[in-house]
Structure 1
Amino acid sequence: MLRIVEQNFTQDLTPEQRLEELGLELPPVSGAVGAYAPWMQVGNVIYTSGQLPWVDGDLKYTGKMGAELTVQDGYQAFLLSALNGLAQLQDALGSLNRVRRILRVEGTAHTTPDFTEQPAALDGASDLVNAVFGERGRHTRMIYSDTAMCLNCATLVVLWAEVDI
């Protein structure tokens, strides 16, 4: 189980180098599972579509937090979803170093109606973004809950990034 903690990276590391220091690599980008684009650029902002916890084309985490999954499982699932979101940003930009700032992280958690630890689970995405981008990763965020998710996935992450054009 991977837990991202406060990192003391030197300022001159690129986001890709920070990923490497964390022992992570970006996965191949996932294609859309419907009639939509995986990301869209409007002006100097890129919005990703919802990213799921894919690993090599398979959903690594399925089910509901509060039933089959724990808050720790949710943390890992959100981390993977965010990693897939970073892969989409890199696909759009060629390099994550072109990200000026992550503006927003939105997460949707697949939960039982009585589950209330969504913010702690979404920290998996926030911790990753903050570690990879440092101060440029500080973001606003929103967490949603749903008792029924597409493909029975555990999490979904949407990233908004201000970029150099």
Structure 2
Amino acid sequence: MSFEKTLTDKGITLPDAPAPAANYVPFARSGNLIFVSGQISADENGLIQGKLGETMDVEAGAAAARRCGLALIAQLRAATGSLDNVRRVVKLTGFVNSTPDFTDQPKVINGCSDLMVEVFGDAGRHARAAVSAAALPLGVAVEIEAIFEVE
């Protein structure tokens, strides 16, 4: 199965792989694993900022998480040259900028998880953590990091 073709068939356009904002690399490879640094919520208009439970609802948070997922996939393509070298999505760790009483972090991170399954099918099913954060860099709503297995 061609994951590159899946992107085209589904009309999914990846952003350019974002450059790191500090002293780290966007991804690191160890053996057959690619570790992608946390990708923050942003779209063609800039950063997606907000706090779940205060200025954003779950639907908007899930959309922000999907944007993180697109950036993760863009970094993965930059790391491998082609998504067709991907064996599986191993794990996502999602951070949600949310109020202390907000408890729907998993529903927010589903925006990214659903994208992984949409693009990679069964190989997109993964282990995951979805946690609250009192604040995230630049006031973004969501940040997600990932581990992928490649050939």
- TM-score bin (small chain): over 0.9
The letter of the residue matching 1:71 is V
Q: Structure 1 residue 57: deviation in Å? A: 7.2
Superposed counterparts of 1:101-140, under 5 Å: 101-140=88-127
Aligned counterpart, 1:9: none
TM-score normalised by structure 2 residue count: 0.96
Superposed counterparts of 1:2-21, under 5 Å: 12=1, 14-21=2-9
- How many residue pairs get aligned? The number is 151
Superposed counterparts of 1:32-71, under 5 Å: 32-56=20-44, 58-59=46-47, 61-71=48-58
The letter of the residue matching 1:28 is D
Question: Is the strand fraction higher in 1 or 2?
Answer: 2
Cα distance in 2 for residues equivalent to 1:95 and 1:84: 15
Aligned counterpart, 2:77: 90
The letter of the residue matching 1:16 is E
Cα distance in 1 for residues equivalent to 2:10 and 2:134: 32
Q: Give % identity.
A: 37
8 Å Cα contact 1:38/1:88 also seen in 2: yes
1:90-122, CA deviations, whole angstroms, 9 ceiling, x for partnerless residues? 000010110111100110000011101111111
Q: Which runs of 4+ in 1 moved over 3 A?
A: none
Q: Structure 1 residue 58: deviation in Å? A: 1.6
TM-score normalised by structure 1 residue count: 0.88
Gaps of 5+ in 1: 1-11
The letter of the residue matching 1:112 is T
Aligned counterpart, 1:22: 10
Gaps of 5+ in 2: none
